[in-house]
């Protein structure tokens, strides 16, 4: 390799480094819009279901079914990542997740129009499953992508900064949404209040998809024999630290899931809390 070829290679490496740095900045902006979507929408699905006259059993289904389909779709997403470009997968399914918030809007319109009242809450449950499914499919690709655009030596500081910014935005949006719902309830337009929040969520996630189109995502090459099945993992879980951690998290989630889905119901219906009190907690 002569000196000119080495110089071209150095320029190429410098260009890639610059693209990665730009992508890290874009990821913080993308995460901010994602936080807006979560703060305005995901945090208010259960209260929305209550406003649509969901029963306790339906609230349980609303919380448990997405929790089942989400992890299964992550497995499916990891398989898609082997066949398709990660960036295209992320952009496509994040955009679909954004559009799925319009199903929540439709549920509110059906309720206001008294259209098929017995099917509104089941429709909402299916809508939430669809929303979680699209979001879960991109999770493996997103983690894989972030592992490559954020060097190991700066991961701690970078994700600390990203999480601080995105977390602050999520808190602000969640509180603002709670205050808006309290106000909309006072003037008897609470369903319209929820509809506006879900439209904001859809827009936030669409902007998130847009910023993903600006990301630089290196191509990935899978090493032969990298994959192991779920049953192989279970078989070896007791003999390694990650297996112990996975079992611990699974048990914590199992116990929390017994009461967690009904905590919002208890505060809103039995304790008569208003929205902002629930989400300040």
Boundaries of every domain in the chain: 23-217
Rg of the chain over CA atoms, in angstroms?
22
- What is the structure's pLDDT at 9? 47
Confidence tier at 17 by pLDDT (50, 70, 90): confident
Mutual orientation of helices 155-186 and 3-40 as an angle, nearest 10°?
30
Is 87:215 a contact under the CB 8 Å cutoff? yes
- Tokens coding 71: 């992890």
Question: Once rounded to an integer, what is the mean pLDDT over residues 10-26?
Answer: 84
- What is the structure's pLDDT at 230? 66
- What is the structure's pLDDT at 266? 64
Confidence tier at 6 by pLDDT (50, 70, 90): very low
Of the given ranges (7-11, 193-197, 218-222), which has the lowest mean pLDDT? 7-11
CATH number of 23-217: 1.20.1250.20
CB atoms within 10 A of CB 37: 26
- Tokens 């874009």 -> residue: 26
Calpha distance 98→275 (Å, rounded): 24
- Tokens coding 77: 């997403």
Mean per-residue pLDDT over the chain, rounded: 85
CB atoms within 10 A of CB 129: 20
Give the model confidence (pLDDT) of 232-251 as tens digits. 777 777 778 877 887 887 77
- What is the structure's pLDDT at 106? 97
């Amino acid at each position: 390799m002569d000196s000119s070829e080495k110089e071209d290679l150095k320029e190429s490496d410098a260009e890639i480094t610059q693209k990665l740095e730009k992508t890290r900045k874009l990821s913080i902006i993308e995460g901010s819009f994602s936080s807006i979507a979560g703060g305005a929408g995901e945090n208010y699905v259960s209260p929305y279901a209550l406003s649509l006259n969901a029963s306790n059993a339906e609230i349980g289904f609303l919380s448990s079914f997405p929790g089942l389909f989400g992890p299964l779709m992550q497995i499916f997403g990891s398989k898609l990542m082997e066949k398709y470009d990660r960036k295209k997968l992320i952009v496509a399914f994040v955009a679909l997740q954004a559009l799925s918030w319009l199903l929540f809007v439709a549920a509110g319109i059906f309720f206001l129009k008294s259209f098929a009242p017995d099917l509104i809450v089941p429709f909402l449950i299916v809508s939430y499953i669809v929303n979680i499914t699209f979001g879960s499919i991109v999770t493996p690709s997103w983690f894989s992508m972030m592992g490559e655009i954020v060097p190991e030596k700066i991961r701690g500081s970078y994700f600390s900064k990203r999480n601080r910014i995105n977390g602050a935005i999520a808190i602000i949006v969640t509180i603002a949404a709670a205050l808006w719902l309290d106000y909309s309830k006072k003037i008897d337009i609470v369903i319209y209040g929820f509809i506006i929040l879900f439209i904001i969520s859809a827009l936030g996630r669409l902007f998130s998809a847009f910023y993903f189109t600006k990301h630089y995502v290196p191509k990935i090459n899978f090493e032969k024999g990298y994959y192991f099945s779920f049953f192989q993992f279970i078989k070896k879980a007791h003999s390694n630290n990650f297996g112990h951690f996975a079992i611990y998290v699974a048990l914590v989630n199992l116990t929390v899931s017994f009461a967690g889905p009904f905590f919002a119901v208890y505060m809103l219906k039995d304790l008569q809390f208003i929205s902002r009190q629930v989400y300040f907690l």
